Amino acid sequence: MRRFFTVGSRTLSYLDFGGPGAPLLALHGHYNEASAFAPLAEALAPQWRVIALDQRGHGASDRAESYARDDYVADLAAFHRHLQVGPVAVLGHSLGGVNAYQYAGRYADRVTALIVEDIGADVDVDWSFTTSLPRHAPSRDALTSALGAAAPYLECSFRQFTDGWGFSFDIGDTVASQQALSGDHWKDWVSVSCPTLLIRGTRSEELAADHAREMIARRAGQARLAELPAGHVVHHDAQAQFAAAVRAFLSELGNRPDSGSRPERRPVAHAR
């Protein structure tokens, strides 16, 4: 079900996929929106209730004047307060992954477990793909054709306007967001204290294998690495394996609907 809430003068939107399960907050990456997690929500139900945010400037949420790191984290804090669900597990892909671990690092008492999908602690975004995106197409088919192999990864954000087809995100805003995402975020990564699963696509061009292993090493005993046969968008390329990895990780921690309150924070073994 689509819902809305306000943060200051802006409106943010989210999808609550419902069900009796434990809440799992999900944060998409650039070019995407909350609906990208529909297959994951279906795969995890009924044990898990996925609640996915359209982050600022994406989907049905309002555009913003700023896409700075602190702004995204503040949105997540407001989203979490709005839901009134207590401490939760948080999952994020790419942009959403950095937002998720920065939130977990800064608000340790609010996050019981963290899943970060294919993004590093030292981020250097190349926004040339963004600036090459078509800004207008006469039809959905024309937009799909213009995107080529990238079309399946962006189609959840396709929108029809009065003069043709485009995206639910603004290209200029996305470049600003990507510029703000670039940087050294090691301090946030190592400050996370909850059990963490880092998921990397073996064909990823965004998260190198060596960097992923360094991330695990710097949080030895707290984080593990899962590598799946996929590119950067692991939840799309390896849909079933991704859902299975998330389910196994959370269930192992005792973060289940019938487990009561906050799970015990046991050390997590390093696994490849």
Q: What is the DSSP string of 237-256?
A: HTHHHHHHHHHHHHHHTT-S
State whether CATH 3.40.50.1820 applies to domain 2-128+173-252.
yes
Among the residue ranges 17-21, 40-44, 82-86, 256-260, the one predicted with the least confidence is: 256-260
pLDDT tens, position by position, 183-218? 999 999 999 999 999 999 999 999 999 999 999 999
DSSP state of 109: G
Q: What is the mean pLDDT of the chain?
A: 93
DSSP state of 156: G
**Percent of residues, the chain, with pLDDT higher than 70:** 93
Q: Global pTM?
A: 0.92
- In the three-class reduction of DSSP (H, G, I as helix; E, B as strand; rest coil), residue 202 is classed as coil
pLDDT tens, position by position, 41-52? 999 999 999 999
Domain positions in the chain:
2-128+173-252
User: What's the pLDDT score for residue 53?
Assistant: 98
pLDDT tens, position by position, 100-144? 999 999 999 999 999 999 999 999 999 999 999 999 999 999 999
267 band by pLDDT with thresholds 50, 70 and 90 = very low
Buried-exposed string 3-19: b where 16+ CB fall within 10 A, e elsewhere = eebebeebebbbbbbeb
DSSP state of 264: P
CA distances to 68, 103, 247 from 65, in Å:
9, 21, 37
pLDDT tens, position by position, 139-176? 999 999 999 999 999 999 999 999 999 999 999 999 99
